[in-house]
Amino acid sequence: MQVLVNRLSGLPSESTEGVTVIKLPEPTLRLPREKPIPKAKPQTKWEAYAQLKGIQKKKKGRMLWDNESKQYKPRWGYGRKDETKSWLLEVPENADPNEDQFAKKIAEKKERVAKNELKRLRNIARVTKAKVPGVGLTPTDKPSKDHLGKTLAVTHKSTASLGKFMDTLPKEKLRLGKKRKFESNYTDDRERQKKILKGIADGTPVLDVNRAANIAKHREERERSMAKKSGDGEKKKAGAKGKKGGKKSFSGKPSGKPKKTFAGKTKKSFSGKKGGGGGGAKKGRK
Amino acid sequence: MAQRIVKPKTQRGKRAVERKDPKIKENHKTCMLMKGGNTSQIVTNALKELHMLKKPHAVLFKKKNITRPFEDQSSLEFFSNKADAALFGFGSHSKKRPNNLIFGRLFDGHLLDMAEFGIEKFKSMMDIEGPKCAAGMKPALIFSGEAFDQDSDHKRIKNLFIDFFRGPVVDNVRLAGLEHVISLTAADGKIYLRNYKVQMKREAGSLGPPRVELENMGPSLDLVMRRTKLASDDLFKTSCKQPREAKIKMRKNISRDAFGTRLGRVHMTPQDLTKLPDRRMKRIKNITKDTEKDATEKDATTPAKKAKESVEED
C-alpha cells in the first residue's frame, strides 16, 4: 500500500476547488463489459430509400405561428393548435353538409397513427427477417375495379371453411390462386438433365434481365446524386427541386443518354418548382 | 437503441427500459447478493457485510431463492435482468458444502464466470473494533501470492475479484479518499480476503508521499476454492471487446508546450495571389508599372473581368 501511495503521489495532479486530485493513468487490465456493444439502429425502409435518392432530412421548427391567438404554439404536444378542439370548423365546398367534420378529423388522425404503427412493425419485421402477412386490402375512398375484384375474392375465402360452401354470383369470375405445376414422374428425364448439363458445360452466364436493368438504374441514379452533391450550390438546389422531373425521365426513356437528361432536368426544375415543393411536403408527412 | 415490438406506454417506462439498454460507456456494474435455500449464520453475515462494502452498487435480496447456480443458471439470469445486475454473490449452506459462497458475473444476461468458495473462517466487521471506512469508497486492491499470476484459474478469479470489488470507475482520485484496502492473498490452497482501513500520516513539514498505516477493519474471510465455471476464452474475449467510439483517438498536429498552451499546426490550400486587392495601394501599382509595363497588369485583371462577364450572363 505504501508503494501504491508513493507511486500515486508521483503522478501528475490537478487542483480543483482547493482539492488536489491525482490523475489516474489509463487502465492496463481489460475487464469484461456488462452488455455487448450497442448496434447501430437499422435503417427503416424510408431511410434507406432517402439515402439512395439523396434526400436530406429537413429539420422542422418546434414552434408554429398561430394567426388566431397571435402567438407561437408548439407543432405537437401540450398546448398545440388542435383543430378538433376548436368550436368551429369550416366545411369544405364540395363536402357533405351533414358530415361531422370533427369526427372526420379525429378518424383521419387515428388512421395516420395506425398506419405509422404498422410501418414501424413492418420495419422491425424486415430487419429481423420475420415473415409477416401482407397488409391485405386497405379500405380506399374510390376503389378501382381491380381492387373490388380482389376484395370479393378475399371475402369469398374469409369463412371458417375457407369459402368451400360459398355460392358464386351469376357473372362472378373467381380468382383462384396459382396452381403448382410438377414435372411428370413418368417422362424420360434424360432430356431435361442433358439440358442442365449443357448449360453448365457452356459456362454461359444466366442473365436476369430485370435484375441487370435494376442494377444499371441504381448505378445511374447514384452517379447522378453524386454529381448533384459535387455540383455548386445553384445546381444543387435545382437538382433537389426537380426531383419529379428526374424521375419521369427515368421511367419513360430507356437508359442511353444520361447526359441529356441531366441538362433537361435543370431546365425543368425552373418550370416545375411547384411539383418539387409538393414532393417535399410528402416527405415531411412520412 | 434496440428494436422493441411493444413500445413502452409512458415516458417513465421508456426511460426505465432505455436504462437497461447496452451503452457505449457503461454504468457501474451492480451486484446482487442472495441467499440460497439454506444458509448458515456465517454465510448470511458474510453476504450482509459484502453488501456493506459495495453499498451504493449492490442489492441484498431479502428472501431465500432455492436455486443451485452450478446446476441451473436460469433463475440467476432472470434476477440479473430484473435488477440490471451483472455481478452476483450467492450464499448457501449444506452438509456437502458447508458455508458456501459463490462469486460470479454475467455478460449480456448470461453467466460468464463463477467460482465457489467455502468459508473456513469468518470474522465480522462488528467483532473488530476500530474505525471503519466510509461507504461507497473506491478501494485499493492488493493481490499477493504466486497463484494469481501463474495458475490460469486463479488468473481468471483475480480478474473476477477485480471486477467485483473495484468500485466506481474514475479518472481522478484524491489521496485522502483512499481509505479502504482489500487484500487478497493466495497461499497454501486458500484465498485470504482481508479489509483494511488506511490512515495517512504526514509528518510536519514533509512534502513527499505520506506514511501509510493499515488497520484491520473486517470482514476477514478465509476461502477454500470448490467448484468453478469459467467462461471459454472465446466468450471471454468477446465480452472484453471495446466499442470503437470508446477508444481515445490520437489527435494529429496538436501539442502543448511547457506552459500548457495548446499549439496546432494548420494546413492551408495555396493562396491565390493574383486576386489580391491592390487597387488602393498606389505605391505597388506604380512599381509594377515601372518595371513590367502593361503586359503583366492585363494578365492580373483578366480573371476579374471574366467573372464580371459571367455574372452579367446569368
Greater confidence, B302 or A280? Answer: B302
Interface contact B23, partner A, CB < 8 A: yes
Contact residues on chain A for B208, CB-CB shorter than 8 A: 9
Q: First and final CA of chain A: distance in angstroms?
A: 63
Question: Residue A9 and residue B175: Cβ atoms within 8 Å?
Answer: yes
Confidence category of residue B59, pLDDT binned at 50, 70, 90: very high
Confidence category of residue B69, pLDDT binned at 50, 70, 90: very high
| Cis peptide bond prior to B270, omega within 30° of 0 | no
B239-256 average pLDDT score: 80
pLDDT at residue B299, rounded to an integer: 52
pLDDT at residue A130, rounded to an integer: 81
Per-residue pLDDT for B159 more than 80?
A: yes
Of A21, A35, A36, the CB nearest to B174: A21
pLDDT at residue B285, rounded to an integer: 63
pLDDT at residue A275, rounded to an integer: 40
Interface contact A129, partner B, CB < 8 A: no
pLDDT at residue A105, rounded to an integer: 92
Highest averaged pLDDT of the listed ranges A106-110, A243-247, B174-178: A106-110
How far is residue B313 from each of residues A23, A231, B26, B266, measured CA to CA in Å? Answer: 64, 19, 60, 38
A265-279 average pLDDT score: 40
Range in A105-109, B89-93, B253-257 with the lowest mean pLDDT: B253-257
Per-residue pLDDT for B227 more than 80?
A: yes
If one counts every other C-beta atom within 10 angstroms of the C-beta of residue B152, the result is 9
pLDDT at residue A263, rounded to an integer: 40
- Are the C-beta atoms of A33 and B240 separated by less than 8 Å? yes
Round the average pLDDT of chain A to a whole number and report it: 76
> B32 φ, ψ to 5°?
-110, 135
Q: A residues 25-64 near B, CB within 8 Å?
A: 29-38, 41-42
Interface contact A10, partner B, CB < 8 A: yes
Of B5, B22, B181, the CB nearest to A121: B5
Per-residue pLDDT for A86 more than 90?
A: no
How far is residue A234 from each of residues A55, A223, B94, B169, B305, measured CA to CA in Å? Answer: 17, 18, 81, 52, 22
pLDDT at residue A238, rounded to an integer: 45
Interface contact B11, partner A, CB < 8 A: no
B71-75 average pLDDT score: 93
Q: First and final CA of chain B: distance in angstroms?
A: 50
Per-residue pLDDT for B311 more than 60?
A: no
- Are the C-beta atoms of B297 and B288 separated by less than 8 Å? yes
> pTM of the entire structure?
0.64
Per-residue pLDDT for B300 more than 70?
A: no
Rounded Cα–Cα distance for residues B235 and A179 (Å): 50
Picking from A13, A15, A24, A34 by the largest number of B CB atoms within 10 A of its own CB, the best residue to mutate is A34
Confidence category of residue B313, pLDDT binned at 50, 70, 90: very low
Name the amino acid, one letter, at B247: K
pLDDT at residue B308, rounded to an integer: 47
ipTM above 0.85, yes or no: no
> A143 φ, ψ to 5°?
-70, 140
Per-residue pLDDT for A20 more than 80?
A: no
Confidence category of residue A268, pLDDT binned at 50, 70, 90: very low
Structural domains of chain B, with CATH? 28-228 (3.40.50.10480)
> B109 φ, ψ to 5°?
75, 5
Rounded Cα–Cα distance for residues A273 and A224 (Å): 19
Interface contact A3, partner B, CB < 8 A: no
B176-188 average pLDDT score: 90
